[in-house]
Amino acid sequence: MKHLFTYIFLLLGSVSFAQPGPDPKKEQKIQALYVAYITQELKLTEDEAQKFWPVHREYDNEIKGLRAETSELERQQAALNIKKKYQDRFTRILGAQRTNDFYIKDGEFRKKLIERLKNMRQQNMLRQQNFKQGTMQRRQNSLP
Amino acid sequence: MYQQDYILNELKDLSPTLAAIPRINVFSVPDGYFDLLSTRLLIQARPGETGEVTAEMKTSVPDGYFENLAGNIMARIKREALSEVVLETHGVSSLVAEIGNQNMYKVPSGYFQNLSNSILAQTSSLRAGQVTAETAGISELVAGIGNQNVYHVPEEYFAELPGQVIAKLPQPARIVTMKSRFTAFRYAAAAVVTGLIGLSILFLVNKSNGDKTNAGQTAVLTEARQIINTNSFEKEFSSVSDAAIVSFLESKGQDVEAALVASLTDEKNLPDADEYLINENTLDEVLKTLDLNN
């Protein structure tokens, strides 16, 4: 009986600690931006949005599940298979052209994020350089 | 010889008388003296006998004298003692004295062989009459039984007794053999219970997560609608943090650092392929220029 309780506690611990913990608010904010971007770019109607986003959520969950793939090539192949799998469902909601546009806009949103990330890091680098130069200048000025 | 003469001359000077005595051994005993010495001493030890040794005694002792000596001595002692006892007994009781050494205590032949049986027979004959009379005084019925064995059992009684006893015993309860409790079975049972509990917990956690996901999805759609309605995409987009972007892209399977390199590099500004071979630090310098390590 003592061992049984030990197993239960270990299981509870593993279950509780196995849960991933990203910041929910930050995730929600960037997800909302993504939904807003795709909705505006594809000009989704209310009816299309109500049908599209639940399917997209399933699609997105499967794409997120690919993170554990062993190699990049295999991951890309698996992602392509998932896109093919959802192609028909997206097409029934959006049509073929807008489904194709969805993939394009999805990529453009990522590029925007990367661009944003790059700009943030460059600005941060410039701030650090300016701070270092200012510090050095102040030191030189303080010298007799 | 010279020394003897010298001693003789000296003795003559001291005592002529002694010197005149011829050299004769005066300390001699008759022939056979020591052979008869013991006999003579014994004779002298006997009171009333003369210590003279006869010629016969000098020569020899009777045949078997020493062999029978101890017996003769004892017989003489007994004889002398008996005479004293007889005289004393006569003084006490002439009747006893007449009995002499005769054994008065004779038993018939085979007396001790039959003694126990004769004693028992006499005892039973004597006691039977008394016991019967005493028992009759208490209970005539018991006295009428006499010596008969009233405690008799039918023939083959004890041979059949175990069977009869077992037949009368109540039927034993049916023996149900308990199955041995294998340790593996117990562990398996514990594992099943643990598994069920674990699955239940997992199901609840997943259900809770599903509820949270649905709620989160609703919140995302609501917030997205608000962004569209307020036309605040650019404003909200510019407020997204570095970590949130990285987390979002990585959740989509995007290699963020590789994407950053791809976005930062302009192939026209990259060094020629040969420069990487000429200078091994070329790649480090390019990466340093891009400064991706922020």
The whole-number average pLDDT for the span A51-62 is: 91
The whole-number average pLDDT for the span A15-37 is: 72
Q: Which residue type occupies A12?
A: L
Quick one: pLDDT at residue B57? Answer: 58
Is the predicted pLDDT of residue B178 greater than 60, yes or no?
A: yes
Is the predicted pLDDT of residue A15 greater than 70, yes or no?
A: no
pLDDT band at residue A68, thresholds of 50, 70 and 90?
A: low
* Cβ within 8 Å, pair B224-A114: no
Q: Identify the weakest region by mean pLDDT among B18-22, B69-73, B267-271, B285-289.
A: B267-271
* Cβ within 8 Å, pair B256-A32: no
Quick one: pLDDT at residue A53? Answer: 92
The DSSP annotation for B189-248 comes to HHHHHHHHHHHHHHHHHHHHHHHHHHHHHHHHHHHHHHHHHHT-HHHHHHT--HHHHHHH
A85 touches chain B (CB under 8 A): no
A118 touches chain B (CB under 8 A): yes
The whole-number average pLDDT for the span B92-114 is: 82
Spatial distance between the Cα atoms of B259 and A111, rounded to a whole number of angstroms: 8
Q: What percent of chain B has pLDDT over 70?
A: 84
* Cβ within 8 Å, pair A30-B248: yes
Is the predicted pLDDT of residue A37 greater than 90, yes or no?
A: yes
Quick one: pLDDT at residue A104? Answer: 92
Residues of B in contact with A31 (CB under 8 A): 220, 224, 248
Within 13 A of B19's CA, how many CA atoms are on the CB side? Answer: 13
Quick one: pLDDT at residue B4? Answer: 80
Is the predicted pLDDT of residue A69 greater than 70, yes or no?
A: no
Give the residue with greater pLDDT, B41 vs B258.
Answer: B41
* Cβ within 8 Å, pair B237-A72: no
Q: Identify the weakest region by mean pLDDT among A77-86, B191-200, B270-279.
A: B270-279
Give me the sign of the Cα torsion angle A112, B249, B259, A44. negative
pLDDT band at residue A3, thresholds of 50, 70 and 90?
A: low
Q: What percent of chain A has pLDDT over 70?
A: 81
Max Cα distance, chain B (Å): 192
Give the residue with greater pLDDT, A70 vs B139.
Answer: B139
Asked if A74 and A68 count as a contact pair (C-beta separation under 8 A), the reply is: no
Quick one: pLDDT at residue A90? Answer: 93
Spatial distance between the Cα atoms of B124 and B289, rounded to a whole number of angstroms: 142
Mean of the per-residue pLDDT values of chain B: 79
Is the predicted pLDDT of residue A55 greater than 90, yes or no?
A: yes
The DSSP annotation for B152-189 comes to ---TTHHHHHHHHHHHHSPPPPPP-PPPP--HHHHHHH
Chain A residue whose CA is closest to B196: A8
B253 touches chain A (CB under 8 A): yes
Six-digit token pair at A130? 């300016």
Give the residue with greater pLDDT, A86 vs B129.
Answer: A86
Phi and psi based region of residue B87 (left: phi greater than 0; alpha: psi -120 to 50; beta: remaining):
alpha
Could you tell me which residues come within 8 angstroms of residue A44 by beta carbon, excluding any fewer than 6 positions away?
Answer: A38, A52, A94
Distance between B269 CA and the closest CA of chain A, angstroms: 18
Angle (deg, nearest 10), helices B242-251 and A96-142: 150
Give the residue with greater pLDDT, B48 vs B280.
Answer: B280
pLDDT band at residue B156, thresholds of 50, 70 and 90?
A: confident
Chain B residue whose CA is closest to A115: B263
Spatial distance between the Cα atoms of B294 and B291, rounded to a whole number of angstroms: 7
B285 touches chain A (CB under 8 A): no
Is the predicted pLDDT of residue B33 greater than 80, yes or no?
A: yes
* Cβ within 8 Å, pair B247-A66: no
Give me the sign of the Cα torsion angle B148, B150, B154, B158. negative
How many CB atoms sit inside 10 A of residue A88's CB? 10
The whole-number average pLDDT for the span B62-70 is: 84
Angle (deg, nearest 10), helices A96-142 and B256-264: 80
Quick one: pLDDT at residue B170? Answer: 82
> Model pTM?
0.44
B236 touches chain A (CB under 8 A): yes
Quick one: pLDDT at residue A101? Answer: 92
How many CB atoms sit inside 10 A of residue A2's CB? 5
Q: Identify the weakest region by mean pLDDT among B1-5, B72-76, B160-164.
A: B1-5
pLDDT band at residue B168, thresholds of 50, 70 and 90?
A: confident
Angle (deg, nearest 10), helices B242-251 and A24-42: 70
A92 touches chain B (CB under 8 A): no
The DSSP annotation for chain A comes to -HHHHHHHHHHHHHHHHTS----HHHHHHHHHHHHHHHHHHHT--HHHHHHHHHHHHHHHHHHHGGGG-SSHHHHHHHHHHHHHHHHHHHHHHH-HHHHHHHHHHHHHHHHHHHHHHHHHHHHHHHHHHHHHHHHHHHHHHH--
B190 touches chain A (CB under 8 A): yes
Is the predicted pLDDT of residue B135 greater than 90, yes or no?
A: no
Give the residue with greater pLDDT, B176 vs B52.
Answer: B176
Spatial distance between the Cα atoms of A137 and A134, rounded to a whole number of angstroms: 5
Quick one: pLDDT at residue B181? Answer: 63
The whole-number average pLDDT for the span A125-133 is: 84
Is the predicted pLDDT of residue B284 greater than 50, yes or no?
A: yes
Quick one: pLDDT at residue B294? Answer: 46
Q: Over the stretch B203-214, which tens digit does the pLDDT of each residue have?
A: 777 676 666 667
